[in-house]
Structure formats: C-alpha cells, structure tokens
C-alpha cells in the first residue's frame, strides 16, 4: 500500500488580536522591510487536472480527502478578509486554486472584490490563474463581473505531451481556445505560464515562444519548484532560466527589459523586432525573496506568508468566532510584522534541497502558485 501524503497539519493557534489595536493605514512591513502588496486567494482545493508537478494522481486520487464545502471560506468571508488586507496596503488580488473556475458562481465573488479600492483610491488589480480548460465558456462572464486579467497555465503545445502532463486527457486546443476567448473579451494582456521540467517538456520551450510571439500574450517560463512534498521534486529536473533564454535567443534575438516594479518576480526580455516579450521566473536559481510582497490565503482561511511555508495562521477561526474587523486587522498586522520567510534564498545559499519529512510543506493546490 502506497504512503498517502496529506495537507500539512496546521497546529498554529488562532491569531492574537488582544492588546493595542493596529488600525490599517495602507502600509505594513515585515522584519525585512517588505511591504504587503499582493494577496493570493485560493477558492478551491480541487482541480480537474492532475499535473505531475502539482497534484500527481498517485496522491490526489479518487479517494483523496478534499475539503468539505463547509470548511471553505464563503464569498462573504473572503470579501471581508480581502477588505482588511486592502486597507493594509494590498493593491493586487489573484484568485487561484486548485482550479478556481471549478468554484460555483465565482463571478459573484469577483463582483464583490471588484468594488474594493486601494488605500489611495485606485481600483484593485484583480486577476485569476487558471488551467484554461473552462475559460472559453467563462471568459465573458468573468470580464463582466470585473476581473482585470487572467494567467493561463500551459506546459506544452504538443497535444500528446500535454495530455501526459495534465494526466486528465485534456487537449491543448481547449486551453488555446480559452486564451483566445480571454483576449477577445479584454482580459489582457493574457499571461501564459509554462512550468519547465527538464527532461519532460523542455523541448517545448522554442515552440511555445514561436507560437505566442506577436499574439499579445505574455509568455512566462517557470523553473520547476520544490513546492509541497507530493511531487517528488529533484534538482536534476530544474532547467535554469538562463538556459531557457539561451534557447529562445538562438532562434529569436532578445533584449533585456526593465522590471515593472521592484516586487516583480519575472525577468523580462523583449523580442528585438518588437513583437512582444517573454519572461522567466527563477525561483530556484535566482531567489527573489528580498522583494516578496505576497501573502496567501488558503481555501479554508489559513494565512501563509510564503509559498514554501509549513504552517499558516487561522483567520477563518477569527471570522467564525466573532472577531471584529478591527481585531482581524490587528491580527493580520501582527502576523505580517513578524514575517521573516525567505525559503528560496536560504535554500540557494545552503546549496541544499530541503525536502525531509520534518520539513513537509503545504501543497500548492491549497494556496495557489
């Protein structure tokens, strides 16, 4: 009988909000002076793909204990928490999963979030990451609800390879139609993320670049990461981003582009002929922890301060035990003020690949990528 890997048990207590209140003023910083600017909200732990690097079927099978519906944050609870985070300085909210488009009536949540304004009165950058399988039929309603942009995960153009990687027999054409639909309704620029697994889909790097060149889509290549504990991560399967750029540049001359902001995770490159750009996210070979401004709210309301965290802070308990908005704001402030997470930076400096059982981390399907 194979060993089952389940989500990390979170033994953290309900966050403390006793003592002096911390009123939101649009600016929180952690122990490394990093502000809170981005919030990623996972709306479901379920997905209709079984990608080998995220939710391998050997673990996430038909008997896997997904969260019951009552454990999920309601849309009202998500809106309430999001409002607190925005008052603390969050300017961008990304809805993730699992596959977020599996969450019934997601448009209702988007409508609630779309009316929120940043601390200086600007509209939120409200985005969503999806595998694209349902996007063609949902793009218009998502846009009408107030969604700003979408990011679509696509790991190969070769249909047979793509079906093997998603392990759910979904066709590439379904995802490409979703990308086209998103572009047509104005969820643009559409970002397309390809996780590169050396020896598995690295032959698709140049075909992907060629396909999306000149389309307006922004292509991002992501180094295969050691997220969670279920994907059997191995450093030999990481193709450094420098090699990705070298492969593309051998076919299409590239010029480096400046980052949009200090917190941007991607290194950007433009095609020399002006027909678009590509980017690389080098979370393994070039850690960007020092500029990380992201917090993650899991499907059941745990606040995680790092993609590689092993435990979170139970905000759902605060909400369902009657805490006021001021008390929730105080708890969030105290949590962020003590944040010192910099996993990728420490992993790189140590030259190690921490993946031992005692360091078991939360799965990506619970907090999004």
| 22 domain-assigned | no
98 labeled part of a ligand binding site: yes
294 labeled part of a ligand binding site: yes
54 labeled part of a ligand binding site: yes
94 labeled part of a ligand binding site: yes
User: ∠ CA(43), CA(94), CA(136), 5° rounding?
Assistant: 75
Residue 223 has pLDDT above 80, yes or no: yes
| 161 domain-assigned | yes
| 28 domain-assigned | no
pLDDT tens, 161-209? Answer: 999 999 999 999 999 999 999 999 999 999 999 999 999 999 999 999 9
pLDDT for position 317: 96
57 labeled part of a ligand binding site: no
343 labeled part of a ligand binding site: no
Q: Pairing between strand 218-223 and 277-281? A: parallel
Whole-number Å distance between alpha carbons of 303 and 318: 12
320 labeled part of a ligand binding site: no
Whole-number Å distance between alpha carbons of 152 and 217: 10
Three-class DSSP category at 353: coil
pLDDT tens, 273-326? Answer: 999 999 998 877 776 676 789 999 999 999 998 877 778 899 999 999 999 999
Three-class DSSP category at 123: strand
Containing domain of residue 158, as a range? 38-367
47 labeled part of a ligand binding site: yes
| 108 domain-assigned | yes
Pick the most confident of 242-251, 262-271, 350-359.
242-251
* Alpha helices for the chain (secondary structure H): 75-87, 106-114, 135-145, 159-166, 172-185, 205-212, 241-249, 315-320, 325-337, 343-350, 364-367
296 labeled part of a ligand binding site: yes
pLDDT for position 29: 92
CATH of the domain at 174: 3.20.20.70
pLDDT for position 248: 98
- Provide Rg for the chain, Cα atoms: 20
pLDDT for position 346: 63
| 10 domain-assigned | no
129 labeled part of a ligand binding site: yes
- Total domains present in the chain: 1
For the chain, percent of residues with pLDDT exceeding 70: 85
Whole-number Å distance between alpha carbons of 278 and 245: 9
97 labeled part of a ligand binding site: no
| 42 domain-assigned | yes
191 labeled part of a ligand binding site: yes
* 166: phi then psi, degrees, rounded to nearest 5: -80, -15
pLDDT tens, 105-154? Answer: 999 999 999 999 998 999 999 999 999 999 999 999 999 999 999 999 99
51 labeled part of a ligand binding site: yes
Is-contact 16 158, C-beta < 8 A?
Answer: no
Whole-number Å distance between alpha carbons of 154 and 221: 10
334 labeled part of a ligand binding site: no
| 6 domain-assigned | no
Q: How confident is the model at residue 24 (pLDDT cuts 50, 70, 90)?
A: confident
Q: What is the mean pLDDT of the chain?
A: 87
Whole-number Å distance between alpha carbons of 153 and 161: 14
301 labeled part of a ligand binding site: no
Residue 329 has pLDDT above 70, yes or no: yes
Is-contact 155 140, C-beta < 8 A?
Answer: no
| 14 domain-assigned | no
40 labeled part of a ligand binding site: yes
How much is the pTM? 0.88
């Amino acid at each position: 009988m194979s060993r089952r890997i389940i989500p990390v048990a979170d033994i953290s207590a309900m966050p403390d909000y006793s003592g002096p209140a911390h009123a939101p003023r649009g600016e929180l910083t952690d122990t490394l002076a990093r502000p809170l600017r981005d919030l990623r909200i996972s709306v479901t732990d379920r997905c209709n793909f079984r990608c080998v690097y995220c939710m391998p079927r050997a673990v996430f099978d038909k008997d896997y204990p997904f969260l019951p519906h009552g454990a999920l944050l309601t849309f009202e609870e998500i809106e309430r928490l999001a409002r607190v985070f925005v008052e603390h300085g969050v300017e961008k909210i990304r809805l993730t999963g699992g596959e977020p488009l599996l969450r019934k009536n997601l448009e209702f949540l988007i409508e609630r979030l779309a009316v929120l304004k940043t601390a200086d009165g600007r509209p939120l950058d409200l985005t969503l990451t999806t595998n694209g399988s349902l996007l063609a039929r949902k793009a218009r309603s998502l846009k009408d609800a107030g969604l700003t942009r979408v990011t679509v995960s696509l790991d190969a153009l070769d249909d047979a390879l793509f079906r093997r990687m998603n392990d759910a027999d979904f066709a590439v054409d379904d995802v490409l139609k979703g990308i086209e639909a998103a572009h047509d309704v104005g969820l643009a620029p559409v970002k397309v993320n390809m996780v590169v697994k050396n020896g598995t889909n690295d032959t698709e790097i140049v075909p992907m670049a060629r396909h999306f060149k000149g389309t307006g889509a922004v292509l991002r290549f992501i180094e295969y990461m050691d997220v969670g504990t279920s994907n059997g991560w191995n450093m030999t399967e990481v193709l450094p981003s420098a090699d990705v750029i070298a492969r593309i540049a051998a076919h299409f001359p590239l010029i480096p582009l400046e980052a949009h902001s200090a917190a941007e995770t991607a290194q950007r490159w433009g095609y020399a002929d002006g027909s678009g750009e590509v980017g690389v996210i080098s979370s393994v070979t070039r850690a960007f922890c020092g500029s990380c401004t992201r917090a993650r709210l899991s499907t059941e309301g745990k606040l995680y301060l790092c993609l590689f965290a092993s435990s979170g802070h139970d905000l759902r308990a605060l909400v369902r035990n009657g805490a006021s908005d001021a008390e929730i704001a105080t708890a969030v402030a105290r949590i962020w003020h003590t944040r010192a997470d910099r996993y990728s930076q420490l992993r790189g400096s140590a030259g190690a690949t921490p993946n031992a059982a005692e360091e078991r981390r939360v799965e990506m399907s619970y907090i999004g990528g």
